[in-house]
Structure 1
Amino acid sequence: MSEVFVAVGSSLGVEPAAGLCAVAAESGATLIIVNRDPTPYDDLADRVVREPIGEALPALCAELAG
């Protein structure tokens, strides 16, 4: 089981991969979505990041690494 699930740069509109967000959230993982546009899973996410991926991802990785 994962403690954190990060979906990056995806509209999360194509199954079965998109459904992994729901699986992660239902399993108790922290769900973080990094995407320019809204996704169908934003309401399940613990955090939604709308910054450009090239800026958001390095900062998010550093934060998660502690």
Structure 2
Amino acid sequence: MLVIGSSLRVEPVASLCAVAVKAGHPLVMVNRDPTPYDDLAAAVIREPIGDAMPRLCAALAA
């Protein structure tokens, strides 16, 4: 599950992170600030979205 630019403080949507991880799916966070679900993430990217996303998309396309 890829989460981009969310504080993850609004339920029930925020809890989808835990649901995805419990189902065996990796969680990747792209967010400037810490979130309550960072500890579940396989990767946390702390960069501005405009900088991180082009690199992430290029890596996924390779």
Instruction: Report if TM-score (shorter chain) is over 0.5.
Output: yes
Structure 2 gaps, min length 5: none
Q: Which has the higher strand share?
A: 1
Q: Size of the alignment, in residue pairs?
A: 62
Supply the distance in 1 between the matched residues of 2:38 and 2:3 (Cα, whole angstroms): 11
Percent same amino acid at aligned positions?
A: 65
Corresponding letter in the other structure for 1:26: K
1:28 matched to 2:33? The reply is: no
CA deviation digits over 1:12-54, x for unaligned, max 9? 0101110111111111111000110000000000000001000
TM-score if structure 1 supplies the norm length? 0.87
What is the RMSD computed on CA atoms of the aligned residues? 0.9
Matched with 1:9 is: 5
The runs of 4+ residues in structure 1 deviating greater than 6 Å are: none
Q: Which has the higher helix share?
A: 2
SS state at 2:40 partner? coil
Supply the distance in 2 between the matched residues of 1:12 and 1:31 (Cα, whole angstroms): 13
Structure 1 gaps, min length 5: none
**Cα distance, 1:65 vs structure 2:** 2.6
1:40 matched to 2:36? The reply is: yes
TM-score if structure 2 supplies the norm length? 0.92
